[in-house]
């Protein structure tokens, strides 16, 4: 599959009266490889950007880009196409009519990425350009703020050194329970994986904190419901079986958790 738009890699292929309403320039403090991953990752749109996208459903996608429906009736959609080695274009359509064309150029700058975005819309009156430009640049500032934080955390996870010991003394049982009761997170690393301690029905258990999908955080813990959720892509996992329960097509699972045992007043984590 590929883009529906004929000559999608060219500017204004529908020969509309395109008007540039704004330009947005920003240095993203994340390497270029992370930014390109983010560009092709449509799944994060309705979760990481839940305040900006009301509805996102995949139509089709590939290394060329992706196309998503913007409403349940499948009358509106967004199509993102890789246009060159350093640029891509996103076009929005309502009832089959193109309403915007947004071109983004990415330039590697050491361990960061320079981003330039140009916003075009058809048939915009001159007295409306400034206001529309402010709306678009404000939207993209928020989107890139959220993306940058995600990309930085993923890059850190991919390159950090983690404790490889198979056994850890985590601290006094009473101290850990006091921290949990006060709302503090208690995390630890073992066998190069990271876990968070939670109290379930009076028992301390270890729950993974890193999503196996794309290394997002698993910190929104519903211990009584037995689920953890990643805020980046909405993936949900059963903490008992490790199975991914949403989305249904996912084939990733949680890693096995260590056992937490009490010895001389200390909580000890051991991998079986």
Q: Map out the domains of the chain with their CATH numbers.
A: 18-159 (3.30.530.20), 167-270 (2.102.10.10)
Give 11-19 contacts, CB < 8 A, sequence gap 24+: 11/89, 11/101, 11/103, 12/101, 12/120, 14/98, 16/98, 16/122, 16/123, 17/122, 17/123, 18/101, 18/120, 18/121, 18/122, 19/120, 19/121, 19/122, 19/123, 19/124, 19/129
Q: Quote the mean pLDDT of the chain.
A: 95
Q: What is the pLDDT of residues 141-173, one digit of tens each?
A: 999 999 999 999 999 999 999 999 999 999 999
Which structure tokens are listed for 263?
Answer: 């010895």
pLDDT of residue 153: 97
Please, what's the largest Cα pairwise distance for the chain? 77
What is residue 89's three-state secondary structure? strand
What count of other Cβ atoms lies within 10 Å of the Cβ of residue 240? 12
| Predicted local confidence at residue 13, as pLDDT | 98
SS3 266: strand
**pLDDT higher than 90, residue 272:** no
Q: Which residues share a beta bridge with 77?
A: 69, 93
Beta carbons of 152 and 29 less than 8 angstroms apart: yes
Is the bond preceding residue 199 a cis peptide, omega within 30 degrees? no
Q: Which helix (H) or strand (E) covers residue 73, if one does?
A: none
- How far is C-alpha 78 from the chain's CA centre? 18
Give pLDDT tens digits for 56-71. Answer: 999 999 999 999 999 9
Question: What percent of the chain has pLDDT above 70?
Answer: 98
Q: Which class for 127: exposed (0-12), middle (13-18), buried (19 or more C-beta within 10 A)?
A: exposed
pLDDT tens-place string over residues 248-257: 889 999 999 9
Mean pLDDT of 207-214: 95
């Amino acid at each position: 599959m590929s883009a529906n738009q004929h000559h999608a890699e060219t500017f204004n292929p529908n020969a509309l009266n395109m008007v540039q309403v704004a330009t947005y320039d920003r240095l993203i403090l994340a390497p270029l490889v992370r930014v390109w991953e983010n560009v092709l990752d449509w799944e994060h749109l309705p979760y990481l950007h839940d305040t900006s996208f009301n509805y996102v459903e995949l139509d089709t996608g590939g290394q060329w880009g992706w196309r998503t429906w913007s409403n349940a009736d499948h009358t509106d959609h967004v199509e993102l196409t890789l246009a060159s080695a350093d640029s891509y274009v996103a076009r929005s359509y309502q009832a089959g009519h193109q309403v915007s064309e947004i071109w983004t150029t990415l330039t590697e700058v050491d361990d960061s990425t320079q981003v330039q975005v140009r916003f075009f819309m058809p048939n915009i009156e001159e007295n409306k350009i400034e206001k529309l430009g402010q709306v678009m640049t404000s939207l993209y500032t928020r989107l890139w703020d959220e993306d940058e934080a995600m990309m930085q955390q993923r890059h850190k996870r991919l390159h950090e050194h983690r404790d490889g010991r198979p056994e850890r003394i985590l601290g006094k049982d009473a101290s850990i329970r006091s921290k949990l009761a006060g709302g503090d997170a208690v995390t630890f690393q073992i066998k190069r994986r990271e876990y968070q301690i939670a109290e379930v029905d009076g028992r301390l258990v270890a729950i993974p904190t890193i999503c196996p999908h794309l290394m997002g955080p698993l910190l929104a813990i519903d211990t009584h419901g037995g689920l953890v959720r990643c805020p980046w892509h909405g993936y949900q996992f059963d903490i008992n079986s490790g199975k991914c329960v949403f989305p249904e097509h996912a084939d990733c699972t949680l890693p096995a958790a260590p056992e937490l045992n009490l010895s001389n007043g200390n909580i000890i984590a051991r991998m079986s």
